[in-house]
Structure 1
Amino acid sequence: MIAAASAAAAQAADPSSDPNAVLALANMPVLWICALGVFLVIAVQSVIYMMAARKAAPAAGLSQQELKTTFRTGAIAAIGPSLAVVLVAVALLALFGTPATLVRIGLIGSVQYETAAASIAAGTVGAELGGPSYDQQAFAIMFFAMSLGGAMWMLSTLILTPLLKKGEHRMAKVNPALMTVVPAAVLLGAFLSLGFAEVPKSSVHVITLAASALVMGVCLLLARLPGMRWLREWGLGIAILLGLAAAYLAQSAGLAPAA
Structure 2
Amino acid sequence: MPEAVLQAANSWGVWLIAIAIVVIVLIQSLLYIRLSFKTADLIGFPREKCVQGLRAGAISAIGPSIAVFIVMVGMMSVVGGPITWLRLSIIGAAPTELTAATVGAEALGVKFGGADYDVMALATSWWTMAINGTGWLLVTALFTHKLEDVREKIGGGDPKWLAIVSGAAMLGCFGFLNSNSIMAGYKGLKAGAAGGGGPLYAAIGGLLGMVLMLTLAKKLTWLREYTLGIAMLIGMAVAVILV
Whole-Å separation in 1 of the counterparts to 2:233 and 2:209: 10
Residue of structure 1 equivalent to 2:129: 146
Matched, 1:128 2:111: yes
Q: Give the Å deviation of 1:176.
A: 4.0
SS of residue in 2 equivalent to 1:72: helix
The answer for the alignment partner of 1:210 in structure 2 is: 204
Question: Which of residues 226, 229, 239 is equivalent to 1:237?
Answer: 229
What is the CA–CA distance in structure 2 between the aligned matches of 1:248 and 1:83, rounded to whole Å? 13
Query: How high is the TM-score relative to the length of structure 2?
Result: 0.88
- d(CA) in 1 for partners of 2:174 and 2:155? 24
Mapped contact 1:35–1:100 kept (Cα < 8 A): yes
3-state SS of the aligned residue for 1:208? helix
Shift of residue 208, structure 1, vs aligned partner: 2.1
Alignment partner of 1:50 is 2:33: yes
Q: In the alignment, which of 168, 174, 195 is matched to residue 191 of structure 1? A: 174
Q: Cα 1:92–1:109, aligned 2, differ >3 Å: closer, same or farther?
A: same
Query: Which one has a bigger Cα radius of gyration?
Result: 1
Secondary structure at the aligned position of 1:128 is classed as: coil
Question: After the TM superposition, which residues 1-259 of structure 1 pair with which residues of structure 2 at under 5 Å, given as runs?
Answer: 18=2, 20-173=3-156, 175-200=158-183, 201=185, 202=189, 203-225=197-219, 228-251=220-243
1:28 Cα deviation (Å)? 2.0
Matched to 1:97, the amino acid is G
Residue deviations 1:151-204 (CA, integer Å, cap 9, x gap)? 232112101213323323333445443321122111111111111211232333
Moved more, 88-97 or 167-176: 167-176
The 2-side partners of 1:71 and 1:174 are apart by: 28
Distance 1:187 1:140 in 2: 37
Higher helix share: 2
Cα distance change on mapping 1:245 and 1:35 into 2, 3 Å: same
Cα shift at 1:22:
0.8
Aligned-pair CA distance for 1:109: 4.4
Contact 2:40/2:47, CA 8 A, preserved across alignment: yes
Runs of 4+ aligned structure 1 residues displaced above 4 Å come to none
Q: Secondary structure of 1:199's partner?
A: helix
Give the letter aligned to residue 205 of structure 2: A
Could you tell me which amino acid in structure 2 is paired with residue 91 of structure 1?
A: G
CA distance in 1, matches of 2:152, 2:29: 26
Q: Measured at CA, do residues 224 and 60 of structure 1 come closer, stay the same or move farther in structure 2, by a change above 3 Å?
A: farther
* TM-score, L = length of structure 1: 0.83
Q: Measure, in 2, the Cα distance between the counterparts of 1:99 and 1:171.
A: 43
In the alignment, structure 1 segments of 5+ residues that lack a partner are 1-16, 252-259
What is the SS of the residue equivalent to 2:148? Answer: helix
1:33-85 Cα shifts (integer Å, max 9, x gaps): 12111221122112211211111113444211111111111111111211221
Aligned-pair identity in percent equals 32
